[in-house]
Structure 1
Amino acid sequence: MLRIALVTAALVLGTMAHAGPNGTIRVVDGDTIKVGDTTVRLHAIDAPEVDQMCGDAQSPAWLCGAWVRDKTREMFEGRTARCTSTDTDRYGRVVAKCSANGRDIGETLVSEGLAFAYRDYGMDYDLAEKGAAVTARGLHGTGVMSPAAFRSAQRDAAQTDQRQAARNTVPEAINPACVIKGNISRNGESRIYHLPGQRHYDDTRISEHNGERWFCSEAEARAAGWRKARK
């Protein structure tokens, strides 16, 4: 019975993780690499999109996604990766944990503040992210929106543009990093900001002519005298 149990356990583990792919690394972005001819999405980390911008009240908007990609290239481009695949994502990419020169690539990126622990898919790098945050390494020392929140805001903005186009109106042009809407009441007495996902976000229109504006962070909005919408 023990022999059968051990064989069964080995088969179960074999379906969960597979050796490879292995090969030369070409960096696509902060959480995606090419290993030989295979596109690999690094397991349990999330890095800014290449076109993502960062910034807050203390610093102007800048292309943090491209910066992360370039820093990742400096560390790993052309090196040899040894990977253990765990899954295939909806885009057909192999999801894997990879190492180069004995270093876990995902852990290195999170520890250096170039990526975040993607806890929805595993707690592997939770402590690494907390260490980077405490010491303000990499992105943690700047005004940065989480990649997941950035993607959500982009989807919301795209949906808003589609609704506006259906009404034959001109879509509002916004900085992708600045998605918080600063709205002024009709009597001019209340200045309220709306975050993506809040009840009235999609219906709020920004009129810069009337003093309304976009913000890149809540801290920037509060510093300018706006308060957060209650819903």
Structure 2
Amino acid sequence: MATGGCSRGRRVVALMGAGAVLVALLGACGPAGNAKTAATGPGPASASSTTPGSRATGAGRGSGATPTSPSSAATPPPSLGALVPVLSVIDGDTIAVREGGVRRKIRLIGVDTPETRKPNTPVQCFGKEASSKMQSLVQSRSVRLQADPSQGDTDKYGRSLRYVFTADGRNVAQLLIAGGFGREYTYDTAYRFQPQFRAAESAARGARAGLWGACPSFGSPVAGSQPSTAPAPAGPNDPAAAPAGCRIEGNINSRGEKIYHLPGSATYDKTVITPSTGERYFCSEAAAVAAGWRAARD
């Protein structure tokens, strides 16, 4: 039987190319003289066998090349800008970035967080938590910025008005509102994400998340806190300087529109009156309208 097996091996050699003679001879007869199966025969492939397009691997060992797994981060929408580094977190709704080689302050559109650094204002309830949350989202990272033509490019303090997105495309303002770290804030006109932000605030209020469960009301001061001693911005509004009983704020926005804000409105406490720029107080809505101002769209 051994001789017959080797004869079959020789016939295999005859059929194969000259370059494979040695391999065929070694495979034709085993230690017991029995014919072995050709590489194309049945049975498991040897450790040195390969299939087209594959890489050879040793028994029990990997190839040494680990396949690259797809990133778990969501791909941001193509409309977002390039990544820019965050230099610092100023407070819960304002950050500083480096854009085009220039340090730029960014005021997030559509969100208002409790104050921690507003001049002559006590630290407000949940203000520190809001700042801390912002730090956890963007500090020492890179973000993407997006403008909204409906809101102007900058505010009266020279801060760029932008939506801020994390590197994986999450809207930072919406995250803050949803967690109860701030409220939805419409300065004057509706903005792109207003419906989503308002829905996020409604859900946070309903769940008493963050400041909605911890604070008596939005903007309430922390017990025992003292007014901020930070330098006041040029020309801040001073209610004491307004004529007696004249508390309607006549503001001029970044587009030159004259808008008045009534006490108790959503925008009243955030509006700063700078008389040197033509802004003023009014004693009645009729007087404001007669002077060319229109009502804010809260």
What TM-score, normalized by structure 2, do the two folds share?
0.39
CA radius of gyration, larger in: 2
- Structure showing the higher helix proportion among its residues: 1
What TM-score, normalized by structure 1, do the two folds share?
0.50
